[in-house]
Amino acid sequence: MTSLNPLSAARAAVQTAVHSWSVDSQQGARRNAMVASTALAARRAEREDVRDFFSSLERGEEERRRALGAGL
């Protein structure tokens, strides 16, 4: 037999609300962390692409200088 005491019902409602808030909060924090991690990975990939591009330009310039120097 369950008691229909209004105080018990209120306490149960508060416990349910607190529990669902903590779960929702954790899920939101996890989602934010995943979004931030994805953005950081994209930035890192872009930085590496730019670095590789400039490195290839430098290598090409060095090869051109060597070729011009050998032709003299």
User: For the segment 31-60, what is each residue's pLDDT rounded down to a tens digit?
Assistant: 999 999 999 999 999 999 999 999 999 988
pLDDT band of residue 3 (cuts 50, 70, 90) is low
pLDDT of 63 strictly over 70: yes
> What residues does each domain of the chain span?
27-72
pLDDT band of residue 26 (cuts 50, 70, 90) is very high
Give the 3-state secondary structure of the chain: CCCCCHHHHHHHHHHHHHHHHHHHHHHHHHHHHHHHHHHHHHHHHHHHHHHHHHHHHHHHHHHHHHHHHHHC
Q: What is the pLDDT of residue 1?
A: 47
